[in-house]
Structure 1
């Protein structure tokens, strides 16, 4: 059952299994069972997102907001590639990785220290309206696949943004 928990700066519904089971102590065994992402997968995301080459916009908070980032397996593949491509275009990459588990985010920061992180659930994102270019969720959407979350994603995406 879902239950309410304080996450980040708001109250959100987080599955009780996620609250009790996804901690810093469980991150190592969690990582052992999670797949790695192929270069082909990342290539396709970059190709489809057309993130590189978009004009810089003052009201953009993040180029990428990753939901359910967990320990960062997907982040470890996507972030460096986008960072390099953005560097070639002479613009910094604004990337936010979110997860309800502060313990998992701590593990993510060990492997991706340049990535901004926030303990948050997908239904309660503390970013301005229409301020994110791409929302990504790698093997996590089933934890928060609700109409409420889709409305929240729609709220934060820029017009023509990508999910």
Structure 2
């Protein structure tokens, strides 16, 4: 899962250019317990607080949609979210990307793949070398399986 940091239109930072920014609020889906302590978002907030010399706090949300709303209504300055939610935030509310995680090969993106049965009409249309058959049109009305709502891969 790609994690993309988004910032809103600097809703928490808008104002006079001379007004110093001394706090940062991060919308984050906080869990009750973490199997791996490195996944705890409070560690990230503490790290940023030390590095930036800001008061960094977490704004707990329960979904990617709630992260978008936290940015939209100025309850958070930034959020960590998946590519699907980031795309919705960009399309609907003009949220912007602040940073993206980088893969070991330098990519800041990944490929999602759609799988169909080898003997399906979609597979046949894909492999028939006929420019007039559209395998994607055959997907209309089918049920797809994804990792979750607003997730970019499935």
TM-score, normalised to structure 2's length? 0.29
Which is richer in helix? Answer: 1
Structure with the higher strand share, 1 or 2: 1
TM-score when normalising by structure 1:
0.28
